[in-house]
Amino acid sequence: MKKVTISGLQALKTAATKITALTAYDASFAKMFDEQQIDVLLIGDSLGMVLQGQDDTLPVTVDEVAYHTRAVRRGTARAFVLADMPFMSYATPADTYQNAATLMAAGASMVKLEGGAWLSDTISGLVERGVPVCGHLGLTPQSVHVFGGFKVQGREESKANKLIEDALALEQAGAQLLVLECVPTALGKAITEALTIPVIGIGAGPCTDGQILVMHDMFGISANYMPKFSKNYLQETGDMRQAVQKYIEEVKSGAFPASSHSFE
């Protein structure tokens, strides 16, 4: 199996071939997803909610993400491995570089940071030091208390324009990938078309370059609730491997996300 790389993901965008992604937190699930030809595996700070039972992602530490990254890397032969930098782990340049180095040494091929144009210097500093960066815009869970909850972002014209400006700034700073979460379909389309780097959506409509879901949501086993933007593929198939296969097929064909999984 040919290993997925940044240039490979870029080629998928250029060819208008959808990118498929899931979260993973251990070697066994990573191996299963990898064998089904998933393109990207994210060790998300979502582990705080789906594994630890926290109310949000804020308590997650760098050491915890590194632990799960090592496990996922051991189970992965093909997929591109992306790791979240947790809340306040990139508050200062010194913290940023040390914590990013920890995650890269654990097996990540790229780190993901939440935030807009204010992150430009942070991103350029990481890239200069050989650390590939994925941005994250829209509903950024680490800012849940600023937003006043898990809410769709960018519905007002001014806020939509700001998100487009932020996306362009992240790309200009050197980000090579963007995750776009919980924005209206039209905004997801506009940002995807504005950027030359791949945009992976979650609740951002069907027009992004790819899709990602939290694995627990895709299997319908999340402890809290099923987000509108997700789909229970295990319920439809009755088998985990077939569930992953169907998710990949529907993302590739454009069948997922449907309008019922998107925001207007």
Judge whether 236 and 243 are in contact, CB under 8 Å: yes
State how far the alpha carbon of 257 is from the alpha carbons of 189, 227, 230, in Å.
Answer: 13, 12, 8
User: Left, alpha or beta for 182 (phi > 0: left; psi -120 to 50: alpha)?
Assistant: left
CA angle centred on 159, ends 183 and 112, rounded to 5°: 55
Judge whether 256 and 211 are in contact, CB under 8 Å: yes
DSSP run (H or E) holding 177: strand 177-181
Of 222, 225, 244, which Cα lies nearest the Cα of 233?
244
Give me the catalytic one of 114, 181, 250, 264. Answer: 181
128 is catalytic: no
Active site residues: 181
